[in-house]
Structure 1
Amino acid sequence: MTASNQKRFTIWTTITLLIMAVFVVFLLYPLVLVLYKSVVSPTNGGFSLEYFQKFFGQKYYWGTLVNSFQVTTCATLLSVLLGLPIAYFTRSTKILGRGALEIAIIISYLSPPFIGAYAWIQLLGRQGVITKVLNAIFHTQFNGIYGFTGILLVFTLQSFPLIYIYISGALKRLDNSLNEAAESLGCTGIKRIVKVVMPLIMPTILASALLVFMRIFADFGTPMLIGEGYRTIPVLIYNQFISEVGSDDGFAAALSVIVIIVTTVIFLVQKLISSHTAYSMSALKPMEPQRVSGVKNILIHVFVYLTVILAILPQIVVIYTSFLKNNGGQVFTGGYSLQSYKAIFAEGQSEVIRNTYLFGLGAIAIIIVLGILIAYLTIRKKNIITSILDTITMFPYIIPGSVLGISLLFAFSNPPLLLSGTAIIMIISFAIRRMPYTIRSSTAILGQISPSVEEAAISLGSSQMQAFIKVTVPMMLPGVLSGAIMSWITAISELSSSVILYGHNTQTLTVAIYTAVVRGNFGTAAAYSSVLTITSIISLILFFKLSGSREISV
C-alpha cells in the first residue's frame, strides 16, 4: 500500500464503511428482498408480474390506493389551511396565552394519530358522548364519524401542528422590513401575505406538507380503527401480510413496492419544486407580534383557541376516560377509579411499559451515535461513499413503517439471523425508522460550526478523532438533543412497524393500546394512552429544560 493510499484510508474511512454495512444489512437487503418477493411467481417460482396485475386488475385493490390519495391529499390541504394562519397569527399578533397554546399544539402533534381516532370514537362514535347528545337534541340517528369523514377529521387535527411548527420557524427568520416595504407601497392585508410572505416561506410550506403527506399516507392505525369500509393501502398491506385467513406474503410485497414507488416519486417532486422556489432569509429585523383590537382580535383568538382545543381534545378525553370506573375495561359504569391503572401495572401487564422504554432507549442510543457520525461524515468528510450513505439514510424518511416491518421480517425470520419476535428487531426498526430526525438536526448544527475550531485543536496536538470527540461533539449536542427528543417520542409512539414485528414478549404501548381498542377494552386503552401521553409531555419538558429553548424543531 502506498503512502497516499494509507493517508486516504483513515479511521473515518473505516467508520464510513462500517456504517454503510449496517444500512446495507438492515435496510437495503430487506428492501431488496421485498422487491424480489414481489416479482416471484407463486406457482413456479419464476419471474412474474402476477401480483402487480392482480392489484391493478381489480378495483377492490387499486381502489385502496385511490382512497389513500384522496384522504391524504384532503387532510394535507386542510392541515396547511389551519397551520399556516395559526402560525402567522401567533407570530404577527399578540395572542393571550401564546406559550401555553404552543405547548398544547406540540403535545397534540406528538400523540400518535390512532389515539386521536380512539378518542374521537369515544366522542363521536355510535355510542359517543357527543353523538348521544346530538341525537337527543335533534332527534336524529347520527351513526358516528366513521369512514372518510372520521379519518379526515383525525388526520387534519393531528397533522396541522407539524405545519404550524415548520412555518412558525420560517416566519421567525423572515425579515419584517420586507413587510414594511410592501405596506409602504400599498400592499396590505391578505394581499401582502399572498404576494410577499407566502412566496418567501413556500419551500417551508412544501417541506412541511410533504412530511404531513408521508405521515398520513403511511398511517395504519387511524383508518384501521375508524375507517370501517373506507380501506386504505396500509390497511390492505397489513391484512394481506397478517391475515389469519388468506394471507399472501408475495402480494403484500408487491403492495409495498407500489407504496415505495409512490412515496419516492412524491418526495423527488417536492425536492424539485423546492429547489426552484428556495429563498435565503436573514431576519435583520424579525417580525414582532402586534396588538390587535376590536372584532379582528376576537375572531383571531376564537379561531386559534378553537382549533387548538379541538387538537388537544383527544389527549384530554383519553386521560379523563382512564379514571372512569368500568366493568373489565369494556363498559364504563359511572364514577371514578384507578382500576384501569391498577390493571396495566398489575404483574405481567407492566412489561408493556417497560418494553416501550427499554426499546426506545436502546434505539435512541444507536440513533445518537450513528446520527452524529453520519452528520459529521456527510458534512466534514464529503466523498462519493459518504454521499451515497447520506442518500441511503434518508430512505426511512419516505418508507412507511408497515413496509419496513414486512421487509425486516422477510430478511430476519430464518437462520443465521433469526430476529423475528425479539427485542433486537424492534430496536433496529425504531432506530432505522426514526434516525433521519437526528441526522437532519445534527447536520444543521454542524453546518454552523466552523472547521477552524477542529483545526485549532489539531494544531495544538490533538488527533482528528480527539478533536472530534472533545471539541465538535460537545458543540453539536444542542442540535443532536433536538433531533433525539423527536426520535425518542416518535419511536415510543410507533405503531405501523411495531404491530407487524412484535412478539409475545415484545409488545409495546402502542400495540397494547391498539389491541385493547380493537377488543373494546377502552378503560385499559385509555390508561395505556395516558402513560404514553404523559411520557411524551415529560420528555418535552425535559427537552425545554436541557436546551433552554421554548421551541422544538423537527
Structure 2
Amino acid sequence: MNRSRKRFDVWTNISLLIFLFYIVFLALPLFTMLIKSFYNGTTGDFSLAYFVKFFSKPYYLNALFNSIKVTVCVTILAAVIATPLAYIMSTVKIKGSSTIRILILISSMSAPFIGAYSWILLLGRNGVITKFVKSVFGITMPDIYGFGGILLVLTLQMVPLIFMYVSGALKSVDQSLMEAAESMGYKGISKMRKVLLPLITPTLMAGGLLVFMRALADFGTPMLIGEGYKTVPVLIFNEFISEVGGDDGFAAAISVIVVIFATAVFLLQKFVSNRKSYTMSALNPIEPKKKSGIGSILAHIVIYLYTLLALLPQLYVIYTSFQKTSGRIFVKGYSLDSYRDAFDSIGGAIQNTFVLAISSLVIIILLAVLIAYVTVRRKNALTNTLDIFTMFPYIVPGSILGIALLITFNHKPLVISGTAIIIIVSFVIRRLPYTIRSSAAILHQINGGIEEAAISLGASQMKTFFKITLPMMLAGVVSGAILSWVTIITELSTSIILYTAKTKTVTVAIYTEVVRGNYGVAAALSTVLTVITVVSLLIFLKLSGQKEISM
C-alpha cells in the first residue's frame, strides 16, 4: 500500500502532465507530418511518391549533400579552432581573460544570418574589404557567396559553443595528469593529443553534436549568401512557403528524411561517447600560468586575433547602423535615421519579441525545474521516456518543427496557427533543453539526503522542493535560462514559418529588411538585438556572481 502511494504521488502526476504536453505539442505534430509525407496531396491515397521524387532527382539530393557537407565541415573546423583556444585560455594567463571570454560568448549570441548579412557588407561584391583590396592591391577577392561564405559565417558562429564545452571539461582535468605526461616526455601538441584529447573527447563530441544540429538546421545563412548553393532547410522552406509549386506534403517528406538522418547522427554520437566516457575529479585542476617570451606573445596574438575576427561582423553592423542612407544605399555622414525608420515602421516587432520571449521563458523555467527534478530524483519508465522526449528538439531543425506545428494545429479541434500561442509553444519546445540541462547538472551535485531529512521532519514533498531543493538549484536554472532567453530572441528558422503580421519578431523583421535591401534599417534592428543580448548576459553575470557561462 505504501509503495503504491509513493509511486503515484504528486510528482507522478506532474510527470504525466508534462509528458502529455510533449505528446500534444511534439510527438503529435511530428507524427502528423510523418503521416502527411506518405499520402498523395491530390488524391489522398497512401503513396511513396514524395520520397521517390526526392531520391530520383539530383537537385534534391544535391541539397541534402550540400547540407551534410556544410554541417560536417563546420563541426570539424569549429572543433579544430575551439579546442586550442580553450586550451590556451585554460593554461596561459591572458591579459583581460574574463573580458575575452565574455566577448567570445557575445560573438556567438546573435542569429547566424546577421553574421551572414554583415559579411555581405564586408566581403560581398561591393563589400568594404573587397573594394579596399581591389583599389589598393588590384586583387579581385573571391566573394562571400556560396559554400565558402556559409562555412565562414557558421564556423565563426559555432566556435564559441565548443569553446565553452571544452573550457568546462578542462576544469575537471587534474594538473597531476599533465605533470605526469611532461615527466614522460610529452610536451606541447603531443601532450594535448595523447593526454587531454582522450579525456575531453566525450565533451568535445557533445559540443560537436550541438554544432552539427545547429548548422544542419540553419536557414538564414544559406538563404542570404548561398545563392545557387541550396541546403535542405532552404529547400524545405521554399517547398512549404512557395506560392507557385509549393507542396506541404513534399516538404513534410523532406523533413522526415532530415529527422531520420539527424536521429542517426545523434544515436551514433551517444554510442561513441558512451564507449569513450571518463570520470574525472580534479583535486588540483588546471590553472592558467603566467608565461614569458615568444610563447606568451603568440598566445595573446592568437586569442586577440580570433576575438576580433569573431566580433568583426557585429561591430561593423553597429557602425553601419549610424551611417546615413539615401534610399537603400549608405552614403557619407552619420545620423539616427535608420533607427527612426526602424522604430516607426517595425517598432511592434521589438514589443512582440519581448512579449513572446518573456512568456516563453516563464514557461521554460517552470517546466525545466520540474522536468530536471523528476528525471534526476524520480527515475522510472515514465521519467526516462520524458528525458528522451526533451532531447528531441536537439534533433529536429526549427523549420521542420514549425511546419509540423502548422500542419497539425491549422484545423479543429485545436486551431492555434497564426496566433502568438503557436510561436510560444515552438520557443518552449526548442529552447527548453538548455535550462533542463543546466538544472539537472546542478541537481546531480545536491545531496538527496537533505530532502529526505526535511521529509522525515514532517515537511511535504512540495514544500521540501520549493523551500530546500529549488533554492539550491537556482544557479543552474538561471544559467540555463539566460541561454534559453538569448536563443529565443535570436530565433529565426521557426519564427519565419509561424509568424503573422501581428506576431512578427525582430529576427524576422531583420531578415525581411535584408532581403528587401533596406540595410540601414536591418543594421539598426540588428544593433538593438545585440544590445538586448549583451545587456541580458551582463545582468545574468551580475546577478549570479559568475564570470562566465559554462556548458
State if a TM-score over 0.5 links the two structures: yes
TM class by smaller structure: over 0.9
In the aligned structure 2, how far is the partner of 1:372 from the partner of 1:341? 39
Alignment partner, residue 337 of structure 1:
335
Counterparts of residues 55-94 of structure 1 (less than 5 Å): 55-94=54-93
1:292 CA displacement? 2.4
Question: Shift of the alpha carbon at 1:223?
Answer: 0.3
The question of whether the paired residues in 2 share the 8 Å contact of 1:76 and 1:213 is answered with: yes
Q: Which residue of 1 aligns with 2:96?
A: 97
Q: Are residues 1:394 and 2:391 paired?
A: yes
- Unpaired stretches in structure 1, ≥5 consecutive residues: none
Aligned partner of 2:436 in structure 1 is: 439
**Contact map agreement 2:181 2:187 (CA 8 A) in 1:** yes
Taking the aligned partners of 1:435 and 1:377, their CA distance within structure 2 comes to 15
Find the residue that maps to 2:379 and give its secondary structure: coil
One-letter code aligned to 2:230: R
1:257-300 Cα distance to aligned partner (Å, 9 max, x none): 01101111101101101001111111111112222222232222
Number of residue-to-residue matches in the alignment: 551
Same amino acid, percent of matched pairs: 57
- 8 A contact 1:434–1:487 mirrored in 2: yes
Q: Give the secondary structure class of the aligned counterpart of 1:65.
A: helix
Corresponding residue for residue 269 of structure 2: 270
What is the deviation of 1:404? 0.4
Distance 2:89 2:190 in 1: 19
Q: Which amino acid aligns with 1:327?
A: S
1:179 aligns to what? 178
> 1:287-436, aligned counterparts within 5 Å?
287-328=286-327, 330-346=328-344, 349-436=346-433
After TM superposition, the structure 1 = structure 2 runs for residues 21-60 of structure 1, keeping only pairs within 5 Å, are: 21-60=20-59
Matched, 1:553 2:529: no
Instruction: Spell out the pairing of 1:472-511 with structure 2 (5 A cutoff).
Output: 472-511=469-508
CA–CA separation in structure 2 for the residues paired with 1:142 and 1:551: 38
**Counterpart secondary structure, 1:345:** helix
Query: Does 2:457 correspond to 1:460?
Result: yes
8 Å CA contact retained: 1:421, 1:504? no
Determine the structure 2 residue equivalent to 1:230: 229
Residue of structure 2 equivalent to 1:202: 201
> What SS does the corresponding residue of 2:346 show, helix, strand or coil?
coil
The CA deviation at 1:449 is 1.1
- Checking the alignment, whether the CA contact within 8 Å between 2:346 and 2:509 is kept in structure 1 is no
TM-score (norm 2): 0.98
Question: 3-state SS of the aligned residue for 2:511?
Answer: helix
Q: TM-score, normalised by structure 1?
A: 0.97
Alpha-carbon distance, 1:44 to partner: 2.7
- Which string of whole-angstrom CA distances, capped at 9 and with x for unpartnered residues, describes residues 420-476 of structure 1? 111111111101100000111111111111111111211222111111111111111
Distance 1:126 1:275 in 2: 47
Range moving further from structure 2, 456-465 or 80-89: 456-465
Give RMSD over aligned pairs: 1.3
SS of the equivalent of 2:332 reads strand
CA distance in 2, matches of 1:489, 1:182: 40
Distance 1:294 1:11 in 2: 63
Cα separation, partners in 2 of 1:495 and 1:338, compared to 1, 3 Å: same
Map of 2:114 onto structure 1: 115
Tell me what 2:18 maps to: 19
- Supply the AA of the counterpart residue of 2:488: A
CA distance in 1, matches of 2:329, 2:56: 44
Task: String of CA shifts for 1:466-524, please: whole Å, max 9, x gaps.
Answer: 11111111111111101110000001110000000001100001100000000000011
Query: What residue in structure 2 maps to residue 146 of structure 1?
Result: 145
Partner Cα separation in structure 2 for residue 247 and residue 536 of structure 1: 36
Moved more, 453-462 or 222-231: 453-462
Find the aligned partners of 1:23 and 1:190 in 2 and give their Cα distance.
46
Following the alignment from structure 2 to structure 1, what is the Cα–Cα distance between the partners of residues 481 and 368? 9
TM superposition shift of 1:244: 1.8
1:5, CA displacement in angstroms? Answer: 4.1
Q: Distance in 2 between matches of 1:4 and 1:161?
A: 48
1:526 corresponds in structure 2 to 523
* In structure 1, distance between residues paired with 2:545 and 2:392: 32
Matches of 2:406 and 2:349, distance apart in 1: 21
